[in-house]
Chain A
């Protein structure tokens, strides 16, 4: 049974591989995004030492690694699920002898593996050439970052699944999906590191799952979180991963009862 699920990873990976040319321009887009924030932050720092606990060089590294992490964890599971619900093919998925959400997660992971090896790694190498990014020298930071990166993927995919499942309840959730994307980019710390937000906003964000996607792994990579601190931030990620399983389970149960295929 498990091998059936791993096959979904393999198939999605191969599908993505067939369309790899589309991702070359993606690397360029990510470089442009890193560039606009890099130059802006350079101008902000001027000659100053530290802003929000970041030195100028840590900020450059943080921006680069955050965007490249996004290159890995980003996926369109929300759109895929919403499309399955809207065109009614979800009904077939219900009949099949597997758990639909688990399959989606596996497909997302297949895409993630592709993105990691053909998008994130080459992108990171290019970023190293273009910007003064400093890689961590501590092996523990590398291990911590890679493990946390995997949980970034899990949490982001969970949020995508939740957003996609909303199509069961609102019929057209295009707007909700767009809003989710903006919120994740802003509140995960991709656009602005959480420690730079005004205190009240920063406090709110510490109680939301988004910081676990970008900000926490980014702090490990830049060396702002070290030693046992890595375990603390990793604990936050694990807690969110487990916590988010509950709404997914509840929503999935409620959704199966009210399935309604439009024009079916």
Chain B
């Protein structure tokens, strides 16, 4: 209960700061959407010149991309560790966090909350509905609970990977570049992984499992049997990677001694 109350307090604060520059707020939201749109434009342009991408039709690829947007929106709303090293380690704000009673990672999530990210999720769902109807997918009752389950699992995978990498900043002074690197690797997850070579497929499945935030879970709804067993592995991967993330975070916090000066 205490934690839910905190969420609302932080949201209130967020609204107050963001609405100071109202026009800019909207331009930022639109530019984020435009970034997503440019990926979609890429898909549409490509399929203007071909019928299939490694055995996947246009509507299927668009559907996968729509699914990919849903957990990513959830993740970018609640988990934003982009500036962690700069803001919390170098500038020493971690000390302030640790003197407060709530769980430190939870506080950091809340301080960087970004609700406009959820708009991406909404658009992702719309894209899935539109491309799903083009594919004549049989909508059955279990789609909704499974979609919710897979969305949460995929967001857990993102969170796990990024917490693990961010906790490196407790050990090294400036692991600059690792987080931006990840944001680029995750781009590989928006397309069916089967178009990449074996080494990259292995990497995206087992080491940095970005295939589990896009194509694997989405293939269940598309009825692609060759990936069915991978789709059902999603919850297991989510538990494993989130556990790795939280454990390495807690170990890192224990080791944290402050930047000192």
Report A's interface with B, CB cutoff 8 A: 21-22, 24-26, 28-29, 32-33, 35-36, 39-40, 42-44, 46, 48, 51-52, 170-176, 178-179, 182-183, 185-186, 191-192, 196-198
A159 to B191, CA, bound (A): 32
Stretch among B83-91, B152-160, B177-185 lining the A interface: B177-185
Residues of chain B within 8 A of A173, CB atoms compared: 24
Say yes or no: is B41 at the interface (Cβ < 8 Å to chain A). Answer: yes
Whether A32 contacts B185 by the Cβ 8 Å rule is yes
Q: For chain B, residues 26 to 42, give those with C-beta under 8 angstroms from any C-beta of chain A.
A: 26-32, 34-35, 38, 41-42
Asked if B25 is at the interface of the complex by the 8 Å CB criterion, the answer is yes
Q: Assess A51 versus B24: contact at CB under 8 Å? Given A25-B176, A186-B38.
A: no
Contacts A32-B185, A43-B53, A198-B48 hold; do A175 and B25 have CB atoms under 8 A apart?
yes
Starting from the known contacts A29-B181, A44-B53, 8 additional A-B residue pairs (CB-CB under 8 Å) come to: A21-B176, A32-B188, A36-B187, A175-B25, A175-B26, A176-B24, A178-B31, A192-B41
Q: How far is the CB of A108 from chain B (nearest CB, A)?
A: 21
> Using a CB–CB distance below 8 Å, which chain B residues touch chain A?
21, 23-32, 34-35, 38, 41-42, 45-46, 48-50, 53-54, 176-178, 180-181, 184-185, 187-188, 191, 195-197, 200
Cβ–Cβ contact B38 & A175, under 8 A: no
Specify which chain A residues have a CB less than 8 angstroms from the CB of B188 in the assembled complex. 32, 35-36
- How far in angstroms is the closest Cβ of chain A from B96? 24
- The prevalent SS among residues of A at the interface is helix
Q: Which residues of A contact B181 (CB under 8 A)?
A: 25, 28-29, 32
Q: Are A192 and B45 within 8 A (Cβ)?
A: yes
Do B50 and A44 touch (CB < 8 A)? yes
Q: In the assembled complex, which residues on chain A have CB atoms less than 8 Å from the CB atom of B185? A: 32
User: A174-B24, A178-B32, A198-B45 given as contacts; is B50 within 8 A of A25 (CB)?
Assistant: no
Q: Specify the chain A residue showing the minimal Cβ separation from B184.
A: A32
Distance between B183 CB and nearest chain A CB, rounded to angstroms: 9
